[in-house]
Structure 1
Amino acid sequence: MITSPDGTALRVHSIGTGPGLVVVHGAMQSGTSQLELARLLADTRTVHLLDRRGRGGSAPAPGTSTEVDDLRAVLVETGARDVLGISSGAIIAARTALAGGEVRRLALFEPPLAIGTSVRLDLLPLFDAALDAGDVPRAMAIAMRLAEMGPPWMFRLPTALLAAASRRMLTADDRTPLTAGRAHVRELAHALRADFAIVRENADRLEELAAIDVPTLLLDGTATRPYLRAAVAGLARVIPGARHVELVGLNHAATQDRAERGRPDLVAPVLREFFAA
């Protein structure tokens, strides 16, 4: 456990030997969602998989700045200076690179940076209302529309049908025994509020990230959602010297374990090359 500046305990799973690399996961994930990716890098790196707030019993973070403070604390405690940020975790990683001198090299995978109307931020009040009312299945259904989670045909279904599917998934997951490092889907659904807050706080602020002055790798899959590809293309335009790599045929799940539809075997070689430079 690592203690954040406000006293919150942060769980970090570490694997491997060599220079440190901190992985900051995205929405509907916990640190070990990238365990297979970590194992593929563990022969030359000590990979630290951070459980962001809202996983493992801690309350979700109130905003971007708190999670930036968390990541800075993890970097200081572990001595790591390289960071891989995934989805909303990539926004946190990018903001951390701007906040201080702890980050030496930065890899960002598909940060959901809203540009204009690219993200359905108008749905956020409906999501918040459903979560406040305790209707987690409906909140998840709205989240699918907002973030365009899953295959395109899924988030085009009526909200009632998506909510019914979410309710079945939650019921099945609630009955599944927890294994080490795993979080229940219900817990991750509540943590979505913090992820969406990060997206909202950083909407239309792409140009601010032009001040990132460390070597930066930008990754996106050619089969991912258009708004995510637009965000990565925008970052490639504004961050001086950033390297942009397109992962052919992969989508937003690419970094995750294979059981979560990821392809860590295709992502790891790109990361290995970048962080070895």
Structure 2
Amino acid sequence: MQTVTSADGTSIAFERHGEGPPLILLHGGSAPQYWKPVIPRFADDYTVIIPHRRGVGESGDSEEYSIDRGVEDICAIIDAVDGTPVLFGHSFGGLLAIETARTASVEKLIAYEPAVLVGEYRQQADLASQMQARIDNGDRRQAMKFYIREVMHGGEIDDLDGWLEDWPPWPDIVALTENIARINRAIEQYRLPDSIDIDVPTLLLTGTEGPPHLRDGIRAVDEALPDSTFVEFDGVGHGGPTEAPDRVTSEVRGFIERGKAFASTGSD
């Protein structure tokens, strides 16, 4: 484990696996262990960097949090690694990757269903406050279940408890409840600009079974970017990188190595 010091003095930890050009994987609301199935698929050819998001894993924390803070944390890691990295973010990590690429020097940008809210959904979004109400009532587990139902399943699933029994992060992810509530506050405050000033090739990934509000968000991101490739995985949900790691990493490898994603549905 290595650490860097972010702009506000907070210690940010990151893992390093393999050797080669740097590939930074940014986790979303889950823990850094989210990327465990993905690391072996890249570590033979890339230096895979796994940051621990502020307040998660081995990283330090601060009382105040914002997307800008998250970007500062990633920039500190970029400055500490050799070479210009590829950024690959999932969910909230995808949003951080996009915002980081607006100012930092990166080779390419990849985001799987970045946590971008648009339209009527954004105007009515209150996931953070509903999570906080459950936390204040002493029921962190119900707060996390509410979050998972909304973000992983678009608010609709017949047997959430049965699904959770087979979901590896459960119930350990309950320990991150307060952290996840605060990143949702940041997500709800974020407003996607009409045009995103990123001048590197970008790969945007989604699954047909992903939550509708995030599928709407990624299409809006695609429209706002000057140079993006849009890929949709049939039958895959929000957990795509670990739900279908072979399919997703194959697409990502093709994009990194040839600058153009493999054939996909809905490419720009």
TM-score of Structure 1 vs Structure 2, range by shorter chain = 0.7 to 0.9
Paired with 1:266 and 1:62, the residues of 2 have a C-alpha distance of 34
Task: Determine the structure 1 residue equivalent to 2:264.
Answer: none
2:221 matched to 1:229? no
Amino acid at match of 2:211: R
Q: CA contact under 8 A between 1:115 and 1:231: conserved in structure 2? A: yes
Q: CA contact under 8 A between 2:151 and 2:211: conserved in structure 1? A: no
Structure 1: state its 5+ residue gaps: 174-183, 257-261
Task: Determine the structure 2 residue equivalent to 1:177.
Answer: none
Bigger shift: residues 68-77 or 49-58: 49-58
Q: Does the residue aligned with 1:36 lie in a helix, a strand or coil?
A: coil
2:98 matched to 1:94? yes
2:77 matched to 1:74? yes
Task: Determine the structure 2 residue equivalent to 1:180.
Answer: none
Paired with 1:133 and 1:102, the residues of 2 have a C-alpha distance of 44
Amino acid at match of 1:2: V
Structure 2: state its 5+ residue gaps: 259-268
Alpha-carbon RMSD across the aligned residues, in angstroms, is 2.5
The normalised TM-score by structure 2 is 0.83
Which aligned pairs between 1:1-150 and structure 2 lie closer than 5 A?
1-27=3-29, 29-56=30-57, 58-59=60-61, 62-79=65-82, 80-98=84-102, 100-118=103-121, 121-149=125-153
2:183 matched to 1:195? yes
Q: Does the residue aligned with 2:186 lie in a helix, a strand or coil?
A: helix
Q: Does the residue aligned with 2:99 lie in a helix, a strand or coil?
A: helix
Using the TM superposition, give the Cα deviation of residue 134 of structure 1 relative to its aligned residue in structure 2, in angstroms.
3.5
Paired with 2:91 and 2:108, the residues of 1 have a C-alpha distance of 17
Task: Determine the structure 2 residue equivalent to 1:246.
Answer: 232
Bigger shift: residues 264-273 or 186-195: 186-195
Q: Evaluate the alpha carbon distance shift between residue 81 and residue 148 of structure 1 in structure 2; reply closer, same or farther with a 3 A threshold.
A: closer
Using the TM superposition, give the Cα deviation of residue 113 of structure 1 relative to its aligned residue in structure 2, in angstroms.
1.1
Using the TM superposition, give the Cα deviation of residue 273 of structure 1 relative to its aligned residue in structure 2, in angstroms.
1.2
- Does 1 or 2 have the higher relative contact order (CA < 8 Å, sep 6+)? 1
Q: CA contact under 8 A between 2:153 and 2:210: conserved in structure 1? A: no
Q: Evaluate the alpha carbon distance shift between residue 38 and residue 134 of structure 1 in structure 2; reply closer, same or farther with a 3 A threshold.
A: same
Using the TM superposition, give the Cα deviation of residue 230 of structure 1 relative to its aligned residue in structure 2, in angstroms.
1.3
Q: CA contact under 8 A between 1:88 and 1:198: conserved in structure 2? A: no
Q: Does the residue aligned with 2:214 lie in a helix, a strand or coil?
A: helix
Task: Determine the structure 1 residue equivalent to 2:194.
Answer: 207
Q: CA contact under 8 A between 1:143 and 1:149: conserved in structure 2? A: no
Q: CA contact under 8 A between 1:85 and 1:109: conserved in structure 2? A: yes
Q: CA contact under 8 A between 1:5 and 1:69: conserved in structure 2? A: yes
Paired with 1:102 and 1:134, the residues of 2 have a C-alpha distance of 43
Bigger shift: residues 33-42 or 115-124: 115-124
Q: Does the residue aligned with 2:114 lie in a helix, a strand or coil?
A: coil
Using the TM superposition, give the Cα deviation of residue 24 of structure 1 relative to its aligned residue in structure 2, in angstroms.
0.6
Q: Does the residue aligned with 2:120 lie in a helix, a strand or coil?
A: coil
Q: Does the residue aligned with 2:88 lie in a helix, a strand or coil?
A: strand
Paired with 2:56 and 2:100, the residues of 1 have a C-alpha distance of 20
Task: Determine the structure 2 residue equivalent to 1:269.
Answer: 250
Bigger shift: residues 102-111 or 140-149: 140-149
Q: How many pairs does the alignment contain?
A: 247
Detail structure 1 runs of 4+ shifted over 6 Å in the superposition.
Answer: none
Paired with 1:146 and 1:250, the residues of 2 have a C-alpha distance of 16
More helix by share: 1
Deviation string 1:177-210 (CA, Å, 9 cap, x unpaired) is: xxxxxxx32322222123202311214x2424x2
